[in-house]
Chains A and B, each alone.
Chain A
Amino acid sequence: MAVTATVSTTTPRSFIWLEKIANNFLLRRLVKAFFTIWIVTTLTFFIVRAMPGNAVDILIQDLTAAGMSADDARNQAASLLSINLNQPAHEQYLEYLANMVRGDFGKSYKSRGLKVADMIAAVLPWTLFSVGLSLLITFLLGVGLGALMAYKRDTWIDHLLSNLAATLDAVSPYLIGLLAILTLSVTWKIVPIQETRGALSPGIQPEFSLEFFADVFMHVKMLLLVYVLSSVGSWMLRMKSNTVSVLGEDYVTVAKARGLPDTRILTAYVGRNATLPLFTLLAISIGYVVGGSILLERLFTYRGVGFLLGDAIASRDYPVMQGVFLIMTVAVVFANLLADYLYGWLDPRIRISGGGQ
């Protein structure tokens, strides 16, 4: 940045440290990240309120549907939900921001008295675990199979895997979930779907024991399977196309001419260069690990963040929705930041230097 350099010569000495701070790469990225989070938070705040109906309406609807008279339902709802929805939106917004800065995400409308932060903290580990593990499996499987497809391209194994990957990539995860239940649980009766509901069986305590881990796995396996099946296709296809293009690079031919062993060429020459771009995607995907899928977690009654969000949307529980969207935003934004740093670290051509060089 030649411009900065010329400016700094004319800047008074006392301001040089200020300029250094302003030019700090990490600091600039952090400021940008927080700005992004604020924008998303604001949009979320107003968009959830723009949804038809509100928490009170929905509860009244539910109560009358259960057989209560309209007046009773209204009174009951008012006493259950001690919230003032008539307060002007901008006042609510400022109050929300002020609380958020103090780390207070508010309390749930529906589950009265429960703090949003606690509610999320209770379900977050299950989602982190299930989505995180499936991401890891998907990545390793996708990279391995993708490389295999590239090495064996135009053989039956490549045609088989390519078509499989394209199909899996095209079918909606929810449909794969339904098909998994239909085949594994209903037709073939391999997986008893009743028992796998929830994240843990009643009576099992989180502890470091085989029994605990076996139970955790028993409950998560169907969800894991569907997550992996629904996302492995795109990783496979990406890895295949990366590998095919790296295999055509001159440095691979030269490596062969240099008499390097095939294993060394596969790992350090083809593998490393082909997976490099995937690491950015992996880092970005890590951002979605806190989200979980609303549809899939409901389908398998797995009480994670997606399940909580689905419930909150259905009952217009604004604070819970805002809380979930906030942590998802934070995770995605910081995962992107991580991706930038990771790529710079892995690929020597894009090393990020401090300052504005």
Chain B
Amino acid sequence: MQPTLSVQNLSIEYQARRGRVQAIRNVSFEVHRGEALALIGESGSGKTTLGLGIVQLLPSTAKITQGKALYRRDTLTLDALTLQGKALREFRWKECAMVFQSALNALNPVLRIADQFGDTAKAHGYLQGRALQERAEQLLRMVRLDPERVWKSFPHELSGGMRQRVLIALGLLLEPQLLILDEPTTALDILTQRNIMDVLKELRAKLDFALIFISHDLSLAAELADRVATVYAGKIVEIADVATTFQDPHHPYTIGLINAVPTLRGAKEDLTSIPGSPPDLIELPPGCKFHPRCPLADYRCREQEPELEPIKPGHAVACWQWRSARAAMEKFRS
């Protein structure tokens, strides 16, 4: 089966006063229908830039320097990065909906929820009036909201979690084939976060879209995703299915991330953080971008950047030391 979205060799740069910020460097991945891909990484690793790039909502200082994002539906194939005007407007939300991390402010404060649905439907020539309301009420119920309460409300009359769920319902209105969720639970408290995650899992079971889930939270990714891509300094350093990522990671960075997550039963001493901080994206270190923080780095890592290479079907790692990484990292922990 053809993937819904295949991103090929995508690079995105920002023009800053100090120089060019290489936010995304030569990234390729695929998402299939009914599949959820999680992009995980620290803040500033370029995850959000990637999402914004696909729907062409990057700020004007950003530039896509190379690459394609091929989107496929039925027999239609188009490159999302070259769309313009009407075609771009139609691609957004109808084919690819993006739910942003700042749910609190994502809805126009002076329009009722009903009007926000109406606007979206009208812009894409979708249902109107009574039929639209019925469809919207169905979606609102799906995200566990009471349509009676929500439909005529203004955004400020709803809580943060409710607003986020309204936005998710709004995202599903036009039945997009691709849904990008950018840190959908970040600004919310832990109970609301749980609620949203349950909603998302339910939706995944019921509907059949391709999902890109951007998060820095490994546990959320583990819960929702089928495959996990670890992003470091604008590059995917490891990609594998969710079980492999958590049970058999091979990149020292992925291993480090997993070791930094507290578990319910594990001892406090088992937690280790990754030393140092993410590199400056303007002046990237030579060789592997993770080498200054990597306990396994040798001369080769400092000079030559490893490319993502498949080590097993469906598992690719960008590390010179991947064969010995797991065992070596275990040693370093003790």
In the assembled complex, the CB of B124 is this many whole angstroms from the nearest CB of chain A, namely: 6
In the assembled complex, the CB of A211 is this many whole angstroms from the nearest CB of chain B, namely: 45
Q: Contact at B94–A254, with CB atoms within 8 Å?
A: no
Q: Contact at B123–A273, with CB atoms within 8 Å?
A: no
A-B contacts at CB below 8 angstroms, number: 71
Q: Encode contact with A along B70-109: 1 for CB under 8 Å, 0 otherwise.
A: 0000000000000000000111111001101010011111
Kindly list the 4 A-B residue pairs having the minimum CB-CB distance in the complex, ordered from nearest.
A259-B92, A250-B105, A259-B93, A348-B154
| Contact of A257 (CB < 8 Å), options: B97, B111, B154 | B97
User: A168 to B94, alpha carbons, bound, how many Å?
Assistant: 47
Number of A interface residues in the complex (CB < 8 A): 22
Q: Contact at A273–B108, with CB atoms within 8 Å?
A: yes
Q: Contact at A250–B92, with CB atoms within 8 Å?
A: no
Residues of A within 8 A of B (CB): 249-251, 253-261, 264, 268-269, 272-273, 276, 346-349
Q: Contact at B110–A257, with CB atoms within 8 Å?
A: no
Q: Does B207 contact A (CB under 8 A)?
A: no
Q: Contact at A254–B110, with CB atoms within 8 Å?
A: no
Residues of B within 8 A of A276 (CB): 110
Among B57, B92, B107, B110, the most chain A Cβ lie within 10 Å of the Cβ of B110
In chain B, positions 39-66 with a C-beta closer than 8 Å to chain A are: 55, 57
Residues of B within 8 A of A (CB): 55, 57, 89-94, 97-98, 100, 102, 105-112, 119-120, 123-124, 154, 156, 167, 170
User: A273 to B107, alpha carbons, bound, how many Å?
Assistant: 12
User: A113 to B107, alpha carbons, bound, how many Å?
Assistant: 64
Residues of B within 8 A of A347 (CB): 109-110
In the assembled complex, the CB of B85 is this many whole angstroms from the nearest CB of chain A, namely: 10
What are 12 of the A-B contact pairs (CB < 8 Å)? Answer: A250-B102, A251-B106, A251-B109, A254-B100, A255-B119, A256-B92, A257-B97, A258-B92, A258-B97, A260-B123, A273-B109, A349-B156
Are A259 and B89 also in contact (CB < 8 A) when A253-B57, A254-B100, A264-B123 are?
Answer: yes
Q: Contact at A348–B120, with CB atoms within 8 Å?
A: no
Residues of B within 8 A of A256 (CB): 57, 92
Residues of A within 8 A of B120 (CB): 258-260
Q: Contact at A258–B123, with CB atoms within 8 Å?
A: yes
Are A349 and B119 also in contact (CB < 8 A) when A257-B92, A257-B93, A259-B94 are?
Answer: no
In the complex formed, the residue of B with least CB distance to A255 is: B108
Residues of A within 8 A of B109 (CB): 251, 273, 347-349
Residues of A within 8 A of B105 (CB): 249-251
Residues of B within 8 A of A254 (CB): 100, 106-107, 167
Q: Contact at B108–A268, with CB atoms within 8 Å?
A: yes
In the assembled complex, the CB of B332 is this many whole angstroms from the nearest CB of chain A, namely: 41
Known: A258-B92, A261-B89, A348-B156. 20 other contacts (CB 8 A): A250-B105, A250-B106, A251-B107, A253-B57, A253-B100, A254-B100, A254-B106, A256-B92, A257-B55, A257-B92, A257-B93, A257-B97, A258-B97, A258-B123, A258-B170, A260-B89, A268-B108, A273-B108, A273-B109, A348-B109
In the complex formed, the residue of B with least CB distance to A347 is: B110
Are A264 and B119 also in contact (CB < 8 A) when A257-B93, A258-B170, A272-B110 are?
Answer: yes
In the complex formed, the residue of B with least CB distance to A260 is: B123
User: A259 to B86, alpha carbons, bound, how many Å?
Assistant: 9
User: A206 to B103, alpha carbons, bound, how many Å?
Assistant: 59
Q: Contact at A349–B123, with CB atoms within 8 Å?
A: no
Q: Contact at B57–A259, with CB atoms within 8 Å?
A: no
User: A255 to B89, alpha carbons, bound, how many Å?
Assistant: 11
Q: Contact at B108–A250, with CB atoms within 8 Å?
A: no
User: A322 to B89, alpha carbons, bound, how many Å?
Assistant: 61
In the complex formed, the residue of A with least CB distance to B103 is: A250
In the assembled complex, the CB of B186 is this many whole angstroms from the nearest CB of chain A, namely: 13
In the assembled complex, the CB of A118 is this many whole angstroms from the nearest CB of chain B, namely: 46
